Amino acid sequence: MQIGVALRLVPDASGDLDIAENGQDIDREWVDLKLNEFDDQALEEALTLKENAGATVIAFAFDGVGADRLLQSALARGADRVIKLRNPFGDGLRARAAARLLAPTIRELGLDLVLTGVLGIDEIHGQLAPFLGATLDWPHVSVVSEIRCDVGALLARQETDGGFSTTLRVRLPAVIGVQTASRPIRYASGAKLRQFIGQKIALTDSNADCGDLAAELLRLERPRSDKGAIMWEGDADQVAEALHDLLVARGLAKETMR
Amino acid sequence: MNGDVLVYVETRDGAVKPSSLELLTAARQLADGAGGMVDALVAGGPLGAVEALSGVADRVLVATHPALEQYLPEAHAALLRSVVAERNPALALFAYSAAGLDLAADVAARTDRAVIDYCVKLSATGREIETTSLIYGGKLRAVSRARSPAVAVIVPGAYPEARPDPARRTTTVEIAAPPRLDALRTAFVVETRPAEGTVDLAGAAKILCVGRGIHDKDSVEVARQVADALGAEIAGSRPVIDNGWLAKERQVGKSGCRVKPKLYLAAGVSGAPEHLEGMSGAELIIAINTDARAPIFGVAHFGATCDLFDLLPALGERLGKGRAA
């Protein structure tokens, strides 16, 4: 079985995000990029399938800052091959266009299964997995948390809501939007990383008619909340005191014995 | 926008899910403004759902076929493509859910429509639809514009649930099942329901929820001791569960449990939309996060930006001197 995994770098939103002067993007100058967390899960699931059922894992990424390092890390984690695709859209690459750029290479390689993260933190105009499924006319399932191989098919556990999940049998070839891998992510050892870190990664051409069906992003804004929390100031001890007093006042904790 | 609004209705055990009733509120506002009708598509046509939509939608579109009896992404996508191609709604609405993630982009791609996700607000002027979406885990809002016909995905909680209007006459329309349903490549195997009798987060009066900021399993144990002293259930957001630091039945949010406790103490939880969906109805929400712009502070009643690794022991000490109420 040949498994493709589409990996994307996204802005690290754990810190401050400033809006760029044109109002239509974040100010990327001081923002780190990181592997989209769901793509990280997708890579882990592909490597788990390789271990359990035998497979060749091919990791894809689009050209851009950090793409080589991303793919070298994928090799260090156990991917068998990596492909860096030309990206004519730069930071403006959207999932719909990414699907159309990826599809010809996926067909050419004759992949059986494509995994990618269920969503990206900056994807507001559609997600890659369903766009890829529709473009390739392959069955696709999103929000998947476990994949097992079956004869000519796979069993995918889709998380629905409220703790419910559904197991679906999906005939191959197929596309899966992974939310969570079957096991916690294993990271590559330092030795493995050093083995691949200098590896040159060739650029593969990718072209497609991407049309102009995406919605237009007019501007980014900071959320305006008319609610907002009452903030306690001070060090942890002072905050713990205020918090405890509140809990006591609301009958949610007993008064401290002094 | 001129024309009808189609709502993809999700059901569980024959009942319409609340998120779909919320879509119907948005659909009514947009359809009334555009002089169009609200069409509710119920795949499989469970009777209870069809009856519940009486007085809410203008038309309930019902399609029946063995492949539509359970949720199968491929089957529901085929039905939607057929309905959208035939009826050409100005806007098709989906909830931000597993089904919404499967179907909205698929239908948009196969019927040449724009799609906008994570919407919390929609309006229409002429053919132009303007939306406000959550982006970057809810830290920012994105205002987008698309021309109808289009597809939009709405975040649960963005609109109130639609209620039946006794004066509204609703007609039920039988839709022919598309031929593709007889040649599917996806099959339903089994549904797994939440395990009963292990943890009852939904019924818990007090919850201490830890998020990505808790960093490791050892720190989760510190939080668990504080939860015990508080008489609270310990819970986690998705990253904590994915890392195996807490069991799946202790997850709060879209893929986990929806909770409404008297106290929700969130430690190191950023407040991604998927998490807020599961807990924003709590009576008292207290959030501790070093990032002052974390979205959790948008729903919290009280908060602090101190280090939770200092706060939890300090709080545990105070609780230990008293006893949980």
Residue A258 has pLDDT above 80, yes or no: no
Residue B195 falls within a domain, yes or no?
A: no
Interface contact A139-B73, CB threshold 8 A? yes
The phi and psi torsions of B255 (rounded to 5 degrees) equal: -90, -5
Residue A117 falls within a domain, yes or no?
A: yes
A169 Cβ under 8 Å from any chain B Cβ: yes
A165 Cβ under 8 Å from any chain B Cβ: yes
Residue B190 falls within a domain, yes or no?
A: no
Residue A21 DSSP symbol: T
Average pLDDT, chain A: 92
CA-based nearest residue to A139, from A179, A100, A175: A175
Interface contact B105-A155, CB threshold 8 A? no
Question: What is the model's pLDDT at position B212?
Answer: 93
Q: Encoding tokens for residue A99?
A: 């699907």
Question: What is the model's pLDDT at position A53?
Answer: 92
Residue B62 has pLDDT above 70, yes or no: yes
Residue B257 falls within a domain, yes or no?
A: yes
| ipTM confidence score | 0.92
Average pLDDT of span A177-195: 93
Whole-angstrom distance, CA of residue B87 vs CA of residue B101:
22
Average pLDDT, chain B: 93
Q: Is B3 helix (H, G, I), strand (E, B) or coil?
A: coil
Average pLDDT of span B4-29: 96
CA A23 to centroid of chain Cα atoms: 25
Among candidates A14, A19, A168 on the partner chain, residue whose Cβ is nearest the Cβ of B72: A168
How far CA A201 is from CA of A84, A99, A102, B261, in Å, comes to 7, 21, 17, 52
Q: Are A61 and A101 a contacting pair, CB within 8 Å?
A: no
Looking up residue B205, the CATH number of its domain turns out to be 3.40.50.1220
Interface contact A220-B135, CB threshold 8 A? yes
Average pLDDT of span B162-177: 96
Contacts of A253 in chain B (CB under 8 A): 230, 319, 322, 324-325
Residue A241 falls within a domain, yes or no?
A: no
Q: Encoding tokens for residue A141?
A: 């399932």
- In a shared domain, residues B138 and B254: no
Give me the residues of A, 57-116, that contact B with CB < 8 A.
Answer: 95-96, 99
Range of the domain at A6: 2-204
Looking up residue A111, the CATH number of its domain turns out to be 3.40.50.620
Choose the mutation target among A146, A247, A256 for the interface with B, i.e. most B CBs under 10 Å: A247
Q: Encoding tokens for residue A115?
A: 């995994």
- In a shared domain, residues B89 and B133: yes
Q: Are B106 and A130 a contacting pair, CB within 8 Å?
A: yes
Contacts of B288 in chain A (CB under 8 A): 239
A249 Cβ under 8 Å from any chain B Cβ: no
Residue B188 falls within a domain, yes or no?
A: no
**Residue keyed to tokens 């990271």:** A187
Average pLDDT of span B280-309: 93
CA distance B168 to chain A (A): 31
CA distance B34 to chain A (A): 20
- In a shared domain, residues B139 and B268: no
Residue B151 burial class via C-beta count within 10 angstroms: exposed 0-12, middle 13-18, buried 19 and up:
buried
Q: From B155, which residue of chain A is nearest by alpha-carbon distance?
A: A124
Count of domains for chain A: 1
Q: Is B187 helix (H, G, I), strand (E, B) or coil?
A: strand
- In a shared domain, residues B119 and B207: no
Contacts of B135 in chain A (CB under 8 A): 121-122, 124, 220
- In a shared domain, residues B50 and B136: yes
Average pLDDT of span A229-234: 93
B279 Cβ under 8 Å from any chain A Cβ: no
Count of domains for chain B: 2
Residue B250 has pLDDT above 90, yes or no: yes
Domain stops at, among B126, B148, B183: B183
Domain stops at, among B183, B213, B237: B183
Whole-angstrom distance, CA of residue A117 vs CA of residue A77:
17
- In a shared domain, residues B113 and B228: no
Among candidates B184, B193, B319 on the partner chain, residue whose Cβ is nearest the Cβ of A164: B193
CA-based nearest residue to B77, from B59, B40, B104: B104
Interface contact A254-B324, CB threshold 8 A? yes
Residue B12 has pLDDT above 80, yes or no: yes
- Torsion sign over Cα A85, A174, B273, B204: negative
Residue A214 falls within a domain, yes or no?
A: no
**Residue keyed to tokens 């929390």:** A229
Question: Under 8 Å CB-to-CB from B192, ≥6 apart: which residues?
Answer: A157, A164, A165, A166, A167
* AA letter at A248: V
Tens-digit pLDDT profile for residues B192-236: 987 766 788 888 999 999 999 999 999 999 999 999 999 999 999
Measured in Å, how far apart are chain B's first and last C-alpha atoms? 55
Rg (CA), chain A: 22
- In a shared domain, residues B221 and B249: yes
CA distance A129 to chain B (A): 8
Choose the mutation target among A123, A243, A254 for the interface with B, i.e. most B CBs under 10 Å: A243
Average pLDDT of span B187-193: 94
Residue A156 has pLDDT above 60, yes or no: yes
Residue B167 falls within a domain, yes or no?
A: yes
B298 Cβ under 8 Å from any chain A Cβ: yes
Residue-wise DSSP of A140-177: EEEEEEEEEEETTEEEEEEE-STT-EEEEEEESSEEEE
Q: Is B322 helix (H, G, I), strand (E, B) or coil?
A: coil
Residue A224 falls within a domain, yes or no?
A: no
Residue A74 falls within a domain, yes or no?
A: yes
Domain stops at, among B123, B154, B183: B183
A250 Cβ under 8 Å from any chain B Cβ: yes
Residue A227 has pLDDT above 80, yes or no: no
Give strand pairing partners of B304: B288
Among candidates B194, B286, B298 on the partner chain, residue whose Cβ is nearest the Cβ of A164: B194
Tens-digit pLDDT profile for residues B254-265: 888 889 999 999
Residue B91 has pLDDT above 70, yes or no: yes
B181 Cβ under 8 Å from any chain A Cβ: no
Residue B323 has pLDDT above 60, yes or no: no
Among candidates A165, A236, A246 on the partner chain, residue whose Cβ is nearest the Cβ of B306: A236
Interface contact A166-B192, CB threshold 8 A? yes
A51 Cβ under 8 Å from any chain B Cβ: no
Residue A143 falls within a domain, yes or no?
A: yes
Q: Encoding tokens for residue A92?
A: 């403006």
Whole-angstrom distance, CA of residue B2 vs CA of residue B277:
32
Inter-chain contacts counted by CB atoms under 8 A, chains A and B: 294
- In a shared domain, residues B141 and B284: no
- In a shared domain, residues B172 and B266: no
Give me the residues of B, 65-94, that contact A with CB < 8 A.
Answer: 70-74
Among candidates A14, A162, A167 on the partner chain, residue whose Cβ is nearest the Cβ of B258: A162
**Residue keyed to tokens 């990618």:** A116
Range of the domain at B44: 5-183
Whole-angstrom distance, CA of residue A100 vs CA of residue A213:
12
Residue B91 falls within a domain, yes or no?
A: yes
Residue B36 falls within a domain, yes or no?
A: yes
Residue B194 falls within a domain, yes or no?
A: no
Is the bond preceding residue A173 a cis peptide, omega within 30 degrees? Answer: yes
Interface contact B101-A161, CB threshold 8 A? no
Q: What angle do CA A180, A181, A184 make, to 5 degrees?
A: 105
Q: How many other C-beta atoms lie within 10 A of the C-beta of residue A179?
A: 28
Average pLDDT of span A159-181: 94
Rg (CA), chain B: 22
CA distance B116 to chain A (A): 5
Looking up residue B145, the CATH number of its domain turns out to be 3.40.50.620
Q: Are A4 and A113 a contacting pair, CB within 8 Å?
A: yes
- In a shared domain, residues B90 and B152: yes
Question: What is the model's pLDDT at position B296?
Answer: 94
Tens-digit pLDDT profile for residues B93-130: 999 999 999 999 999 999 999 999 999 999 999 899 99
The phi and psi torsions of B144 (rounded to 5 degrees) equal: -120, 160
Q: Which residue has the higher pLDDT, B23 or A258?
A: B23
CA-based nearest residue to B40, from B80, B12, B86: B80
Question: What is the model's pLDDT at position A15?
Answer: 81
- In a shared domain, residues B151 and B239: no
Average pLDDT of span A97-116: 96
